Each structure stands twice: as C-alpha cells, then as structure tokens.
Structure 1
Amino acid sequence: MGHTSESTWVPSVTLLVGVGNEGISALLLGADGRVRGDADMVFEGQPVHPSGAVRHTRQSLSLALHEVEPEVERIVIAGPAASGSLAAMAPDRQVVVAWLIARPDDAKAVVFGEFFRESGGWKFTGVGKGYASGLAELVTAYGVEVAEEEPVVETAAAASANGPVPLTSVVKVPMHAPSQATPGGAGAPGSTGWAGTPGASGTPGASGSAGGKGRKSWADAVGEPVAPDPSVFPPAAREYRLLEGWEFGPVFEPFTITGRGSDVITTPARVPAGPVLFEVAHQSGGHFAVVPLDRRNKEGASLFNTTVPDYRGSTVTPAPEDRPLRLRLIGENDWVARVKPVAAARRLERTMAGYGDEALLHLGGAADLRVDFKGSPGGGGSIALWVHEVTGQTELTHVGRTLALNTSDRILQTVPLPPGPALLLLIAEGPWSLTVRELGF
C-alpha cells in the first residue's frame, strides 16, 4: 500500500493537490476525526465546500489552507485505488509534497494522505490505507452514513473505475468522543509538538519559501502532463477576499518561510509596500525575537521578544516602498514565518481566545471589550492593547491610535472600543480571551 511518510510542513497557501486520477476527494474533519455533515465532503459531484476553502477542479483539489475554518483539524485526501504519486503544488508552482503511492493488492479505495494542523501551521503525512469495499466503506469510517437503499457494493465497484460514490443520500452521524491520535495524524487538541526532519523538503530547517532545488515538476509528480488550472490560483484581490469596509494594507499572495536558529529573511517582490501581517511560530522554549532591519541593515525595535515555550504570534509591520522587507529572527529551534495581507488577520467577533501577541480586525460598531488575561505561566506577565482607527490611513501612525489597555498580572477588565474599521494590536505574555459587546447606537 505504499509507505508512511514522515510529516512535513507545508505553506499555508492555496495548494493544488492531485493523485493522477479523476476520483480524488477531500474529507474535512473536526477534532474528533469525523465530518460534521455532508457539506464536509468535496468531490466531483459536490465540487465546492461552503467555506470556499476546498474545491474540486478537473482531476485535482484546490486547498486554500489559510481559509480553512478553525473547527477543521484535518483534511483527508482519498479516492479510487491507483498507483502513482500524490503531489501538492504551491502558487509559485513549486511542488511542496510528492509522495509515492504503491498499487494496492485488494483495495478499491485509498486514503492517500492528510493535511493536519500543528503549532499554528499545516503539515502533510502520507497514509496509504486501503478499503476493500470501496469509497462507501472509506467515507463511513470518517462519519459519513450512506443510505442503506443505495447499492453500496456495486456503486463502489463502479467508482473504482469511474469516480467517487455519488454521496447524495449522506446524512450527519452523531459525533463521538475524540479517539487517541493515530500515527501521522493530527495530535490531540492542544498538542504543540513539531515533528519532522530538519532540512527535509517542507520541514523546518529548509531555506526559502517551501521550495528548493531538485524538486520534481508538477507533471513528473502526478505521472502525467497535467497543466495547472489557472482558476485554482486566482488574482490576489480574489485570493484574499477583502472584508467589507476594510481597505487598510495591500493585497498580495502570502509568503511563507521555515528555518532553524537565528537567521535573516528577505521577502520577495510580490510583497508590496505598506502595512502587512507578520505571523511567526517558534518551537519549544528559549529566547526568541524578531527584529526588522532598516535601509542601513541595522536593527530597529523588536516585533517579538519572548521566552514563551512553543510561541505563536502575529503583528502588523510596514513593508518598505523602495526595498524588500528584511527581518532578523533570533532563536534556538525550528520556526515558521509568514507574511500576509492585513485582511487575513482574525476578525474580532463574539468571544475569542488566544495566547501571546496577535493582530485582530474590528469591523463592527462602537463596543465594550471584556478582556480576561490569565497572566504568564510563571506568574505575573503583562498585557497591552493598541487600537488603530484605519479609515483614510495607509500606514500605522499616531493618528487615530489609542492605548486602550496597559497593565500587569491577571486582569478581568472592560475597555471601550470605537466603531470600526480598526486594527487591534494585542501584546500579551500569556493566555487571554476577548468578548466584544456592540452598543447598538
């Protein structure tokens, strides 16, 4: 059935995934390893997920990993049994996953592999598990119930040659308690391990934007001359659907890079001038900092400076107009860094939780914001909240900027927010939760 691949990091961008046959399908799974309903299956007969993050196109799947709903922990890639390779290609046409699939002896459907969340990013692992009764048996294992009146065996046999089972009579199955994580799958909720071999393609330690020398072409990876579908990689203005009323910061294709230890990174030309969202995740403990470099290649004020274990954070920083954005990362372990449009930041809605620094978008009206800060794991810790009103602004300045909160230790406090659109920069040394209550006037 093939071999089990070590988990490898993949960039959180739109990936084109193919396995060399027309029956490729995707199952979007929650933390319990099961679909939430029939909408969480994407295949030829149901080509678009309601979120728009997963699409079936020709013989491939388009996975916009940066748009996948937070409730989705894993995306399983499955289809009729066939030999060949599973490949995933990034928008810059570099193949970030290439995994050999052996011809199964007794299976009619196969789970080729899965993408899963870890430490704020996404990984891929090969699976190669076969199902003798076909796709109906396969999807049932993930919480899909196929109506009994359907001729499951006969349909599955036909699907082996002609495509997926037409899952038109699928109903939602009651959720079960999460089972223990399986090897190669996503860990239990809260898992922060960084598996993978440093230096391997797509893993922390590889330099560049999830690419590298010696990678196979897309055609070689899927075993046939398949040209990428241009609709999978739409123009940047559609790739990041601008939120209504949000016009702060340029829109562009995101940039992802992985590494280990201290290094200097330079963004490519596709990152234009203006405020951009910068996200980072750092493995384990030790000191970790990110410092921008100026025109003279000298360090400015730190964007991040922390000793928090398994740190994840985001902020907004300006990309220069006449040169690339350059950043010095100071750390001891594996890290992942991403540069995205500000429009990709999380939106402040209802109650949300987080840990550490984060950039948030406020698009509602005037509101009261309830802040619950738990303090740092070792006690103490501080939290601050800057509110930037961005209407008519092209950069972060003192105009329309308010320091809404600045305190130490644990707090439970309510602060007023002006109407949006506004950018909130939260700086915290520990876990927090925010509850927004609009005033309605």
Structure 2
Amino acid sequence: MGHITKDAWVPSVTLRVGAEGVDVAALLLGTDGRVRGDADMVFAGQPVHPSGAVRHEQASLVLALHEVEAAVERIVIAGEADGGVLEAAAPDGAAVASYAVTGTGDATAVAFGEFFRESGGWKFTGLGRGHGSGLAGLVTEYGVEVAEEEPEPQPVVCGPVPLVGVVKMPGQPLPAAGGPLGEPEPTPAPAPTGPFPPADRPYELVEGWEFGPVFEPFVAEGLGNDVIALDDRVGNGPVLVELAQEGYGYLGLFPLDRRNKDEVDFLFNALLPDFLGSAAAPVPKGRPLRMRLAAENRWILRVKPLAAARRLEGTLHGYGPEALIYLGGGADLRVEFKGDPRNGRGYVGIQSYGVGGRTDGRLPDMDLLLNEIGPLRQTVPVPRGPQLLKFNAEGPWTLTVRELD
C-alpha cells in the first residue's frame, strides 16, 4: 500500500505530523504493543496526552519526542482514510519523514506508520496497514476499548469534535452512594453559567508561598481569536493564568516562542462548555510572555501571581482545569469527578511539582498522581508541600485532602 525507506532516524525534537485531508490520531504503546489505558489515544475528541508530549491540533499531531514517557516504546499514527501521504516536519519546517499510502478501495482506516525507540533515539517506519472496519476497528487491535452503543446526541460545536465511531469507555463508574468508612461524599458544584467575575475582584496571596514573581494583575477581555502580550510588570518565573469563555465552543491558549510560533506546552486546549480554568504559565527569560488565544465566544483572561492560586485544604469544588497550591504534609487526596457534562466521560488527571527551595523559577520534574478517563471516586497520595498541583478535569469536581498524622 505504500513506499518508504525503512527505519529512518528522526531527530528527538518536537515534530508536527499530518496527512493532508486526513484527521490523524496517535496511539502511544508500551512494550507489549498496546495502549496502557484510554488516555494513550490522542485524537480530536481527546486532544491532549496527560504527559503533554503529544497533542492534537487542527487535524495534525504535535509530538515532542524528547518528552515522551520512558514507558512508551512506539507511537502509531492512524487515520480514518484509505490512503494518503503522511509527513513529519521538524520545528524549522524541514521534512524528516514521509510515507505515501495508496488506497486499496476496501480500507476505511489506515495505520500510516510508527515512531519507535532505538539506541536512545527515535526512528520512523511506514506501516500502510488498512482496516475495513474504520478507525474504531483499527484502534481495538492496539487495546483501545470502544463502546458498542451509539453515543448520545451532542450539541453542535465549532472546532475539534469527537472522532466518529470512537467512544471512550468510562474509566471507573461512580459508586451508588457514600464515601470511605461510611462518610457521605461531597457533591461537586454545578457547571458555571458565565465567565469569571469582574476583573477588579479582590484576591489574596497564599501566605508562605514563595515560588514565582509578585506583580499587579494583568487583565484582557475580548471575542474570538486574539494574541495576548504581557507588559514588563511581570518578572521571571511562573504566573497564574485564569481564563473563561461563555457558551459552547473550542478554546485554546498557546504560549508563543521567539519565532512567534506555538510552544510545545499549551495552557488550555478544550471543548468544555462554559469553560472556566486556571494554569501555571512559565514566563520566558529576557522577553515578555505572549500567548495565542483561539476562542469561539466572549472570553476574559487574567494573569496574576502564582501565589494567588487557590490553596488545597479541606474540601474544594471546581469545574475544569485548575492550578492549586498545597503547603501541608503528606496527605491522601480524595477525588470525585462527575465527568464531562457533554457525554458523561471526560479526562481527569493530576500532575505534582515539588517546588520547595526553588529560586530559579523553573518547574522541577513532574510526578503523575492521577491519569484517568470517565467519572470516578479515587484516593491518591500527595507528597509533602510546598507542591504545585496541575489539576485537569473536563467537568465538575470535588477534592478533599486529609493530611497524615
């Protein structure tokens, strides 16, 4: 079905991978040749891998090969098509791999090729393997579970939409009632119905938090796509970015590099209705932070000191992704996630960064505390603070922290 030079070396950098006219998907595989869970499939309906190393943008994929987890041995690129030309380009635009697949007429989905590890680096090889049962049938060969029932009708939205025929199975159903040791579980707050409160709302800095600069807040409001540029009031180090959008529609926020192109690590990339979220954003050294905003509706954005993030203590309710500060000792964190309000599923994950004693403004290595799909009630351990927690949830949630004796 294709033509290729086998096993070509590719640079271990950030690659953009796509095939014209095909909405491609990525499958991150372990040593057994299968996905480890639902989150290891990245496509339009699930646009971000929890590690941040793979993301889906405008029908193409961005692969940060140098950031892929060590447990991932192969990344298969597939799409709902009978053929096409798969191409991978380096950050400077130079082509590093190309593979042409000629359709046979009976295939409705194809595995174009795969990136795989060898001798500490990465190689690419073409596969050209067609499948007659569509992408939903193809991905099951790699361990992806596909629901047999038809998905419920969804509201019409702009931007990326769930891949036709591929419906993620819930990761863990909610218990009927009650919490640990018979305690009642708190109920997550309902989805909000509008953007953040007015820009001049008061806020407080968390006492004892010293990671990141302190400055006067920056506020921007608008409708649709825009570029947000901070002024020189912000020093070096991470800042807190709060963003909200009214109604249904795609919302993405991408820091820009020196060449005015998207950085690999995005801040937001979601289809959550009435989006409401916060994230920690690094400020480039020696230049102002610039961000590309992709929005469908009215939005408001605020940039504040990271110390203005909510402190994780007791019980917190929220909706969507949020940066949280934890200053306590080792603790158990009870997570209740109701699921995406559009389909009852959705992603939920927690990344933890121990920032104690950090003065250079750079985040240390990340600990992955939670990485699941679908409604759940789980308890995960949280290391001793100070910790910055990147909590990502596609819907309403409740967190309850219980410090250890």
With normalisation by structure 2, the TM-score equals 0.49
Q: Which of the two has higher C-alpha Rg?
A: 1
With normalisation by structure 1, the TM-score equals 0.46
